[in-house]
Amino acid sequence: MLGDIKTVAQGTFDRYFKMKELYVILILCILNIAALSRYDVLTLNMGKEFMIDGALAILTVVALITSMAVIFEKSRELREKTAHFIITKPYGRSSYIWGKFIGISFLAIFNMAILTAGALIVFKLTSYENVMANNLATEFIYAALLITAEAIVLTALGLFFSMFLSDTITALMVLVFFILGHSFYILEKMSSESSKIFGWVSDILPNLHNLDLKSAITDNITITQDVLGYGLLYAVLYAVAFVAASSMIFSRKDIS
Amino acid sequence: MYAIETHNLYKTFGWFLSKRKVHALNNLELKVPENVIYGFLGPNGAGKTTTIKILLGLVIPSKGHSKIFGIDTHDPDTRNHVGFLPENPKFYPYLTASDFLDFCGKIIHMDAMERSKRKDELLEKVGLTHAANQKMEGFSRGMLQRMGIAQALISDPDLIILDEPITGLDPMGRADIKRILLELREEGKTIFFSSHILSDVERMCDMVGIINHGQLIEHGSLDELRSDIGVNIHTTGVASNALMEGEKLCDYITLKNGEAIFTLTNKSDKDTVMKFISDNGGSVIRSVKLQEELEAFFLRRIQNDEKAREEEVN
């Protein structure tokens, strides 16, 4: 089964890896980050913070778009019956879902790696020497890692919703969960010693605030490895649970 | 043992409480022997594709059983013995024919050497060796269909299931597919396919099954199913001045390669014609039975079934 998953994942990743359009988008994003350096005056000498914040926002948008690829990819392959070559093989259905998830997750890692490297080069090339100082580069990488984890969570959610809903509705649901997910920390705040239920609910919904370091970095709050570790563990467990559920549903679903 | 066997098979689409339920299969009993080309026929919406999907585990039956080589299709291992070509499939356009077969080989855990050997064999079998390194985005419909058959054969399956393999192909493409299917039968494979092109089914199939409203209404070899509609009596030596007279006794007479062929329908009196031939100095070379065309049989059978259903409702 692992071999099947690897084949499907590799096929999915290769498909995007060979797309010229992907590189055009990534280059445009890096140029966009570079363009943010021109706003120092307009932001009243807050150019550095604006640039970091802007770079992380661009990474987040790319992560969101990447995660949505799985929805349309799976649906198109089922509609065009390309997927039938895989899912009519023994144990093919679970392998197909896990393979798609891992393939798109690797695509998210690839995109984030390119953008992070691009952003760090841009920081170095611009006159903001202090951006690279005080471990900011390391913390930027931490933030990018958690944004990648967020993409993986959203990919898992997208796969899950696509089991019941159409492509467009699924994409909208992912967008809604992306927006709400960054607000569910409010529920966490409502949680108290006596009633932890809000905290649990916020983690189940999902709580994407756990994966959001944008404000912390911009405000020069030191990010510990515990925060990173907790965020990554949360994302992996969350994604695995949803992909496992999707795989179980897909294995019992009629393929029209 | 049968290659395919279904017993009491039902499939209903629609939610549990939904009023708009579709009964795609309704007590389907199907038995396909090994090493035959079996044509699975039926009007649109009769349940052909649903049956195929159940056999491949793509659709879960509401009730009943289906077996492939004696093993229930719930068991995923049955799919090790089956190759499948869906209707109008799309392929990864950025892959070459060779890369695609390599990908299919990886899915069934073939090692690199085995894959390399198998893809060369298959490309040769389907006549695409020349296009091995071409991207499939430039392939014609016929080439894509042949690629579909090649991928279905990657695991050297004993049973090949094809959903409308010849629909939408030009005569050359259809001839290619027919050639490949006949070769596969010679190799001992069982081929089960659905089609609307009855003339091709008639030429290729050993057996056919006709499904309507999710039920098998006919099943058997073409000879068993089609009615005799007459006979062609090939003769020689019949006096040419007697032929005008002879035409009154049969439907018509054709002159071909020095033979006079008397075509008789079931209404004609064969004994009178035979006597006429001998009385006029002729001798019978051979008699060829005339059977109704599959298309005529198919239409007649479907119409009868529809009528019977209407009467049952009334």
Interchain proximity A84–B106, CB inside 8 Å: no
* pLDDT given for residue A24 in this prediction: 92
Residue of A nearest to B91 (CA): A82
**Cα–Cα distance list, A56 to A117, A147, A231, B81, B300 (Å):** 12, 8, 16, 51, 70
**By the 8 A CB rule, do B251 and B268 touch?**
yes
* pLDDT given for residue B39 in this prediction: 92
3-state secondary structure of B22: strand
Which distant-in-sequence residues (6+ apart) come within 8 Å of A125 by Cβ? A34
State the amino acid at position A247 in one-letter form. Answer: S
Asked if B107 is an interface residue toward chain A (Cβ–Cβ < 8 A), one would say: yes
Residue-wise pLDDT tens digits, B149-184:
899 889 889 999 998 888 778 888 888 888 888 988
Asked if B120 is an interface residue toward chain A (Cβ–Cβ < 8 A), one would say: no
Residue A3 structure tokens: 């071999």
ipTM tops 0.85: no
Residue-wise pLDDT tens digits, B36-69:
999 999 998 889 999 999 999 889 899 999 999 9
Q: Which of A179, A123, A120, A113 is nearest to A147 (CA)?
A: A113
Give the H/E segment covering residue B265: strand B259-265
Which distant-in-sequence residues (6+ apart) come within 8 Å of B26 by Cβ? B10, B47, B213, B214, B215
* pLDDT given for residue A8 in this prediction: 85
Asked if B90 is an interface residue toward chain A (Cβ–Cβ < 8 A), one would say: yes
How far is residue B138's CA from residue A33's CA, in Å, rounded to a whole number? 39
- Whether B31 has a pLDDT exceeding 70, the answer reads yes
* pLDDT given for residue A72 in this prediction: 87
Superfamily of structural domain B228-291:
MTH889-like domain (3.30.70.1340)
DSSP A221: P
How far is residue B1's CA from residue B67's CA, in Å, rounded to a whole number? 10
Q: Which CATH number fits domain B2-224: 3.40.50.300, 3.30.2020.30, 3.30.70.3340, 3.10.20.440?
A: 3.40.50.300
3-state secondary structure of A4: helix
CATH 3.30.70.1340 maps onto chain B at 228-291
How far is residue B255's CA from residue B166's CA, in Å, rounded to a whole number? 36
Asked if B48 is an interface residue toward chain A (Cβ–Cβ < 8 A), one would say: no
Contacts of A88 in chain B (CB under 8 A): 56-58, 79, 82, 84
How far is residue A206's CA from residue A204's CA, in Å, rounded to a whole number? 5
In the block, tokens 């259905």 appear at A93
User: Looking at residues B239-261, what average pLDDT do you find?
Assistant: 85
Which distant-in-sequence residues (6+ apart) come within 8 Å of A156 by Cβ? A101, A238, A239, A240, A241, A242, A243, A246
Poorest-pLDDT segment among A38-52, B101-115, B273-287? A38-52
For chain B, count helices (H), then strands (E): 10, 14
3-state secondary structure of A182: coil
Average pLDDT, chain B: 87
How far off is chain B from A150, nearest CA to CA, in Å?
29
Give the pLDDT band of residue B275 (cuts 50, 70, 90): confident
DSSP string across A150-185: HHHHHHHHHHHHTTTS-HHHHHHHHHHHHHHHTTTH
β-bridge mates for residue B254, sequence order: B261
Interchain proximity A88–B82, CB inside 8 Å: yes
Regarding predicted confidence, which is higher, B99 or A195?
Answer: B99
**By the 8 A CB rule, do A68 and A174 touch?**
yes
How far off is chain B from A69, nearest CA to CA, in Å?
16
Provide residues of A within 8 Å CB-CB of chain B.
Answer: 3-4, 7-8, 11, 15, 18, 80-82, 84-92, 252, 254-256
In the block, tokens 């490309």 appear at B123
Interchain proximity A81–B88, CB inside 8 Å: yes
Q: Which of B83, B107, B103 is nearest to B180 (CA)?
A: B83
User: Looking at residues B277-285, what average pLDDT do you find?
Assistant: 87
- For helices A92-125 and A136-161, give the axis angle rounded to 10 degrees: 150
| Interface probe with A: pick from B107, B147, B149, B167, most Cβ of A within 10 Å | B107
CATH 3.40.50.300 maps onto chain B at 2-224
Mean pLDDT by groups of 10 residues along chain A of 256 residues: 81 85 91 84 76 89 90 86 82 86 94 93 74 69 90 93 90 89 71 64 73 70 78 90 93 83
* pLDDT given for residue B77 in this prediction: 82
Residue B180 structure tokens: 């490949």
Q: Sign of torsion, CA A121 A123 A124 A127?
A: positive
